[in-house]
Amino acid sequence: MNKKITLLITFAFILSITTISSAQKPEFTSITISPQEQWLEQPVNITAAITSDSEILLAKINIQYENTTPYYNAIMNKASDNTFYWNATYGIAGTYKFFIWTKDKDGDENTSTLYTFTIVDNHPPNIPSNPSPQDDASNVNIDVTLSWSCSDPDEDPLTYDIYFGTSSNPPKVKSDHTTTSYNPGTLDYNTDYYWKIVAKDGKTSTESPVWHFKTIQYINHKPNTPGKPTGPNSGYTNTSYSFSTSTTDPDNDSIKYQFNWGDGNVTDTSYYSSGATITVSHVWKKTGTYNIKVRAYDGDKWSDWSQPKTITITEKPTPSENNPPDTPNKPTGPIMGYTNISYNYSTKTTDPDNDQVYYLFDWGDGTNTGWLGPYNSGATISKIHSWDKPGTYEVKARAKDTNNAESQWSQTLTVTIYRQTINNPPNKPTISGPTTGYINHTYNYTITATDPDNDNIKYFIDWGDQTTQQTTFESSGSIITVSHTWTKKGFYLVRVKAIDSNNAESQWSDTLSINIQGAEAIEDSDNDGIPDSIDLQPQIPQNTRKTTIENQEFYLIDSDNDNIYEQLYNKQTNIINYLGRENGNYLLDVDNDGKWDYTYNPATNTAKTYEEYTGETIPWNLILIAICVIIAIIIIAIVFSRKKEKTMTPIVENIIEATVACPNCKRLIKVQGKPGATVPVKCPSCGTKGIAKI
């Protein structure tokens, strides 16, 4: 009988322990972040739904900024039995990660996986729009100027990268353009062009669609009618006379001229630039009155004939009556030079009859001086000229007397003109930025300069503390940002100069005086021990209590004046986090690692190392129920055994084998015992304990 009672007590105890050990740790059913990306100083809401077989006591959120700071932890607010939330704003842009730790009333704990959210301080530029020409436009002029519209949500200054070409994936042709229009130069006729714009605000960029247009088909226009030829009104037979004219071509094509001399002869010139003045000579062999006219040809169409110029030709007088001037000397002057720079050339001649003389210089570029003078026979004359294109030019001169008798052309002087290579240094740069600061703080400064030759430029900065900095090359006129940190307090004179790609240096900029002070002062306007920079109410003293732990100062904060402290300020790290509570004491996390470090007793103003109970919390209510069940079973067993003793007869024990399934993992387990008996069972797979009935 005693053996039976012992077995019943053992089964009941195992049953109670099995019931106690089946408690589950808390589970996170959902964690939401709203919004996932938020603007600076705007709230982010984090909500966690947690389930457990007992009451959730606490949920703590642990937040870290871009792996660069310790975890900041705080106790989440309770919205309902199983829902906790945390609302906060953030003053630094970047990516934040966090996890949540929770604990239920049974002492079971769990930690979530890592989550992230992003705080932004800059919106990208709006997408460039309103292209001109419009997308897929046709019959666009070949001298079109591209334009577009663009703005920035943060009103940041914008620059543009311009992509342009005949490919549907156009190449970049301009970087850091500062206006919303661009002239690509003269385009080809009847050609498809593609372009796009990338807008940049210095931090992010936004790309437009690829736009397309097609230029007009080529339509050639005939040259304008040349001007009436200019030259002498009369002359002699067998004497050369020169006549000049000019015209332009609407398409800026090169043109040649055809002179009709009125005596059955014509003269065709070579091609000249549109608008150039040309001079052609002719000799009439018979006396008479002749009408001289001229027309122009652009390779496709002829112009109309000019108005006629009339010349009367008479017999040339005998040599004793008049002689033409002698051939002028070969012009003297520089034989090489640069484009758009004027050079001086001279010549002279004499007239056999001592007549006054006119001179004409032909510069070899389709232009001439026209007749200059008259000058006395034998006088040296000079004339300046510049060429706008590089090349080799033949300069020559001829003379005529006051009777319009012309000399032969002089020998030619060969002049070689090169493209101008004179380099101009950049203009004096400017630098702007903060003029006061503190040691070991980094400050940004903006620099800009332009180059007269539009060369790329770099900057050399003297920070005034015996350190210098040199940037990479940037486009002329670009605005760049540089930063610097001073490690000692004092006044510093900062200056900068620009250097172009040909190593020409600008003047130093005007100096910028910087006053760097010592460590930044920590202001506490209401003298409550909490710095204004993190004090939610810097003008209203909060209910705080100072305590010292291991020679370091901490402040407990009662932010709502309900005589319960909610936050802990660490004066050494300048960080605030939240307190926990346990048995009338406060739990302190002084190193912000998400774990309690000390237990603070407000009555004695002392703290001791936090000792967390690692075992399971004992559910005394369940233990009391189990004890009552055990006592009841013992009483029933005693009564039953006494009744049986009176009628009990010996029986042979019949042991049988049965198979049962684990209620947790469903594994099949074999057990043995007498029919109707209950035996204790432990699952060999998951360890679940229970009672099986045979």
pLDDT digits (tens, 9 = 90+) for 362-415: 999 999 999 998 998 899 999 999 998 889 999 999 999 988 999 999 999 999
State residue 13's pLDDT score. Answer: 46
* Residue of higher predicted confidence among 296 and 559: 296
Nearest to 53 by CA among 22, 13, 18, 84: 22
d(CA 396, CA 361): 6
In a domain, 576, yes or no: no
Cβ neighbour number for residue 393 with a 10 Å cutoff: 18
The domain that holds 90 is classified in CATH as 2.60.40.2550
**Of 227 and 74, which is predicted with more confidence?**
227
CATH at residue 195: 2.60.40.10
Are residues 100 and 150 located together in one domain of the fold? no
Distance CA 651, CA 648 (A): 9
Tokens read off for 285: 């062999």
Tokens at residue 370, please? Answer: 């026209």
Domain contains 243: yes
Are residues 157 and 204 located together in one domain of the fold?
Answer: yes
Contacts of 382 (CB under 8 A, 6+ apart): 344, 345, 346
pTM above 0.75, yes or no: no
| C-alpha span between 313 and 302 (Å, rounded) | 29
Residue 51 and residue 85 in one domain: yes
Residue percentage of the chain with pLDDT more than 70: 86
What pLDDT sits at residue 642? 66
- Domain end marker among 393, 418, 443: 418
pLDDT of residue 638: 78
What whole-number distance in Å separates Cα of residue 460 and Cα of residue 504?
12
Q: Is residue 15 part of a domain?
A: yes
Shared domain for 94 and 165, answered yes or no, is no
375 CB neighbour count, 10 Å cutoff: 16
Average pLDDT over residues 87-113: 90
pLDDT, one tens digit per residue, over 33-67 is 999 988 888 899 999 999 988 888 889 999 988 87
Averaged pLDDT, 74-94:
88
pLDDT class for 293, splitting at 50, 70, 90?
Answer: very high
Residues 6 or more apart whose Cβ sits within 8 Å of residue 551: none
Residues 15 and 32 grouped into a single domain: no
Instruction: List, as one string, the DSSP characters of 287-306.
Output: -EEEEEEEEEE-SS-B-PPP
pLDDT reading at 665 higher than 70: no
Statement: residue 651 has pLDDT above 60: no
**Residue 34 domain flag:** yes
Token pair belonging to 22? 């089946």
Shared domain for 485 and 510, answered yes or no, is yes
Look at the chain and report how many structural domains it folds into: 7
User: Would you say residue 588 lies in a domain?
Assistant: no
Residue 261 lies in a domain: yes
pLDDT greater than 50 at residue 83 = yes
In which band, very low, low, confident or very high, does the pLDDT at 594 lie, cut at 50, 70 and 90?
confident
Tell me what pLDDT residue 563 has. 81
State yes or no: pLDDT of 619 exceeds 80. Answer: no
The per-residue pLDDT of the chain, averaged, comes to: 85
Q: Which domain holds residue 663?
A: 651-694
pLDDT confidence band for 21 (50 / 70 / 90): very low
Structure tokens at 560: 């709502």
**Angle at the Cα of 89 from the Cα atoms of 88 and 95, rounded to 5 degrees:** 100
In this prediction, residue 215 carries a pLDDT of 94
Identify the domain boundary among 418, 449, 475: 418
* Domain co-membership, 31 together with 113: yes
Do 101 and 142 lie in one domain? The reply is no
**Polymer length of the chain:** 694
Helices (H), 392-497: none
CA 569, CA 577: separation in Å to the nearest integer?
A: 7
Strand positions, DSSP E, 27-113: 27-34, 37-39, 44-51, 56-65, 72-75, 77-78, 83-88, 94-104, 109-111
The half-sphere exposure of 645 on its side-chain side, counting CA atoms within 13 A, is: 8
Confidence of residue 431 (pLDDT cuts 50, 70, 90): very high
Residue 650 has pLDDT above 60, yes or no: no
pLDDT classification of 93: cutoffs 50, 70, 90: confident
Measured CA to CA, the distance from residue 234 to residue 289 in angstroms comes to: 9
Question: Residue 487 falls within a domain, yes or no?
Answer: yes
- In this structure, the number of other CB atoms found within 10 A of the CB of residue 594 comes to 21
- Domain shared by 660 and 646, yes or no: no
134 in the same domain as 63: no
Reported as a pLDDT band with limits 50, 70 and 90, residue 583 is: confident
Task: Please report the pLDDT score of residue 692 as a whole number.
Answer: 67
In-domain check, residue 529: no
**Are 70 and 6 in a shared domain?**
no
Tell me, yes or no, whether 633 and 683 share the same domain: no
Domain end: 375, 395, 418, which one? 418
